[in-house]
């Protein structure tokens, strides 16, 4: 999980270094959203697999924590993307 977020962070950072135009900003934001969606899907799958088991509540807590971390990471990546070309409208 942490590897996915780290890779996505590096990809977004790489896009920021490679170009500073609106297309790069949009690509970085798209990557952040895609990473967040992938984590959401993984969390959903974990919850579905644990449904009705003794560990259901613990898995739900873990899935919620994953979603929160992915959301915070995506927000930070999108903020960084916004700063790529802060003078250019989206």
pLDDT digits (tens, 9 = 90+) for 9-65: 666 666 555 545 578 888 888 999 999 999 999 999 999 999 999 999 999 999 999
The yes-or-no verdict on residue 66 having pLDDT over 60 is: yes
pLDDT at 22: 78
Output the pLDDT for position 83. 83
Displacement of CA 43 from its chain's centroid (Å)? 13
For helices 22-50 and 56-84, what crossing angle results, to 10°?
180
Distance between first and last Cα of the chain: 31
Identify whether the C-beta of residue 84 lies closer than 8 Å to the C-beta of residue 28: yes
How many other CB atoms sit within 10 Å of the CB of residue 2?
A: 8
């Amino acid at each position: 999980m942490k590897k996915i977020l780290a890779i996505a962070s590096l990809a977004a950072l790489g896009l920021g270094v490679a170009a500073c135009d609106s297309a790069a900003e949009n690509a970085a934001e798209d990557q952040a959203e895609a990473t967040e969606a992938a984590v959401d899907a993984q969390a959903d799958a974990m919850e579905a697999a644990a449904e009705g088991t003794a560990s259901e509540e613990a898995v739900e807590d873990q899935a919620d924590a994953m979603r929160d971390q992915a959301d915070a990471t995506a927000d930070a990546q999108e903020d960084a993307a916004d700063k790529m070309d802060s003078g250019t409208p989206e």
